Amino acid sequence: MKLKAVLALSVLPVLFTSQANAFTVGVLMPTQDEARWYREGFGIENELKNSGFNVELFFGGDIDVSLQQRQIKRLSNDSNIDALVIGSIDGNALADALTIAKSKKLPVISYDRLITGTDAVTYYATFDNGKVGEIQGKFLIDKLHPTVDDPKNIEIFYGSLDDNNAKFFYGEAMKILQPYIDSGALVIKSGEIKPEETNIPSWRTDLSSKRMDAIMDKVGYGPESGERLDGILSPADCISSGIIFTLKKRGYTVENIPVITGQDSTPDALKNIQEGYQAMTIFKDGKQLQDTVLDMVKAISKGQEANINDTTTYNNGVMDMKSFLCTPELIDRSNINKLL
């Protein structure tokens, strides 16, 4: 084929997929390094493009808050951008970066994590995060059957303090666990219960592994001669993976590993569940969340109100959020096949 013909063919698809006048959405995801956000960033991009929208997708590097602030400002100043979808790194640190968007009345969808301290947010697309914590708490009780006569030792991990979701996971899980802790049926030997004591900054796997090591040393937990450890409330798979890494290193096997919870159905977690190292995770259907965002973008692009199903659960410190809450689902060995 002649060079000219090859060039013409290679240019054609570009002309057809990128529509000069189409509504353009700037999509910002917190990091490409965590399986969940990488998958969902490209998922939203595809979904929006398939419906004829233009997309500019950015990831927040190595969980870099200032990079994300700069991305928001740059996209807000870009006259081609018609709306922003933001999965925040630190939801409390974006109010300033959003002032340009606010002054231009640029619609902003807060994706999964709530952006707080500003009224620049138009809609919040997320999951029922309280329900996630409730499922995790109930799962631990169902598996451990703690009673005052047969108490069980557990440890608690909180997510990242700068993530509003972490509050909901912990809050609802603790509503289930606290009565057992109060009665002595559940015992936290490290004595570390509060968010300030149990949080994992930026949800980092290496830091959860480190904290698990520190707890082991503090309490003397161990698979054979050490203190018995029965369960761990972990809010998300990225934290569970770090915990499991430490426990394996310390000699735990599938025979004696504590009951460990999780969330996100990451590839790592699914493997750990199949092998017996992790007891459960939560499936947050990325497609459901992406469809929600797509519906919101469609409505916004037509100047209409988007379909929401909640206005009372989330307040970002400035206003009640117009939210759509998707449904989380428990995954354990009994139903993991549907995700494999």
Contact positions vs ligand GAL (CB under 6 A): 34, 36, 112-113, 163, 165, 203, 236, 238, 263-264, 284
Which CB, 152 or 284, lies closer to ligand GAL?
284
Min dist CB 87 to ligand GAL, Å, is 8
Kindly tell me which of 101 and 325 has the beta carbon lying closer to ligand GAL: 325
In terms of Cβ atoms closer than 10 Å to its own Cβ (0-12, 13-18, 19+), residue 288 is middle
Which CB sits closer to ligand GAL, 170 or 252?
Answer: 170
For ligand GAL, give the closer residue by CB, 246 or 263: 263
The total of other beta-carbon atoms located within 10 Å of residue 4's CB is 8
Q: Are 152 and 146 in contact (CB under 8 A)?
A: yes
DSSP class of residue 235? Answer: S
For the chain, the first-to-last Cα distance in angstroms comes to: 43
- Pick between residue 118 and residue 263 the one whose CB is nearest to ligand GAL: 263
Residue 221 or 324: the one with the smaller Cβ distance to ligand GAL is 324
- Residue 244 DSSP SS3: helix
CB of 152 to ligand GAL, least distance (A): 26
Q: Give start and end residues of each alpha helix (H) in the chain.
A: 3-17, 35-50, 65-77, 99-103, 129-144, 164-183, 195-198, 205-219, 237-249, 267-275, 286-301
**Which residue, among 261, 277, 275, has the nearest Cα to 331 in the 3D structure?**
261
Residue 107 contacts by C-beta under 8 Å, 6 or more apart in sequence?
82, 83, 84, 122, 123, 300
In the bound complex, what is the minimum distance in angstroms from residue 178's beta carbon to ligand GAL?
A: 22
Min CB(237)–ligand GAL separation in Å: 8
> Smallest distance, Å, CB 233 to ligand GAL?
14
Kindly provide the b/e burial profile for residues 32-68, where b requires at least 16 CB atoms within 10 angstroms of the residue's own CB.
Answer: eebbbbeebbbebbebbbeeebbbbbbbbbebebebb
Name the residue nearer to ligand GAL (CB basis): 306 or 325. Answer: 325
Q: How far is the CB of 73 from ligand GAL (least distance, A)?
A: 23
Return the ∠ at Cα 111 (arms to 107 and 112), rounded to 5°: 150
Minimum Å gap between C-beta 251 and ligand GAL is: 28
CB closer to ligand GAL out of 113 and 152: 113
Strand partners, 57: 27
Query: Minimum Å distance from CB 183 to ligand GAL?
Result: 30
Parallel/antiparallel/unpaired status of strands 280-283 and 329-332: antiparallel
Q: Do 142 and 132 form a contact (C-beta atoms < 8 A)?
A: no
Residue type, 242: G
Between residues 156 and 216, which has the closer beta carbon with respect to ligand GAL? 156
Shortest approach of ligand GAL to residue 164 CB, angstroms?
8
Tokens, residue 62: 């190595």
